[in-house]
Amino acid sequence: MERKIVKDILFLRQSSSPAAKSDSGTADDLIDTLRANSENCVGLAANMIGIRKNIIIVQTQLAPIVMFNPKMLSHSAGTYESEEGCLSLEGTRKTLRYESVEIEYYDRDMKRHTGKFSGFTARIIQHEMDHCKGIII
């Protein structure tokens, strides 16, 4: 089900709780909400739709990936300055990002995956993982 985008900064600044297999309905809501906002959106965190669980969705070139409890295993040396927008905020803001990241995450069946991501996809993942920690650009 498509959900309304949360813009309440106090809510968004709260850390998310670990996700479990029982939270798989949130994955469906993230997919539906991403599709409904596809012209302006390439990723979402569950707290952006009012659910404080550590779940993100990232639009890749092939298909969206839903990640339960994503964790950064490694990253490239150094950072670069990025200017990002967010559906929960007005305008854009500057932030620092790694060019590439290695992420451990679980799918909706709680099967463990690892992936290496770079460029724009790595930037989206970092942005959404920050949301789960209550960090807003």
Q: How far apart are CA 10 and CA 31, in angstroms?
A: 24
Q: Which residues are catalytic?
A: 128
SS3 23: helix
Q: Cβ(84)–Cβ(123) under 8 Å?
A: yes
As a whole number, the mean pLDDT across the chain is 96
How high is the pLDDT of residue 33? 97
How high is the pLDDT of residue 61? 87
The string of pLDDT tens digits covering residues 14-61 is 999 999 999 999 999 999 999 999 999 999 999 999 999 999 999 998
pTM above 0.85, yes or no: yes
* Percent of the chain topping pLDDT 70: 100
Amino acid at 27: A
How high is the pLDDT of residue 125? 98
Higher pLDDT, 59 or 90: 59
How high is the pLDDT of residue 91? 87
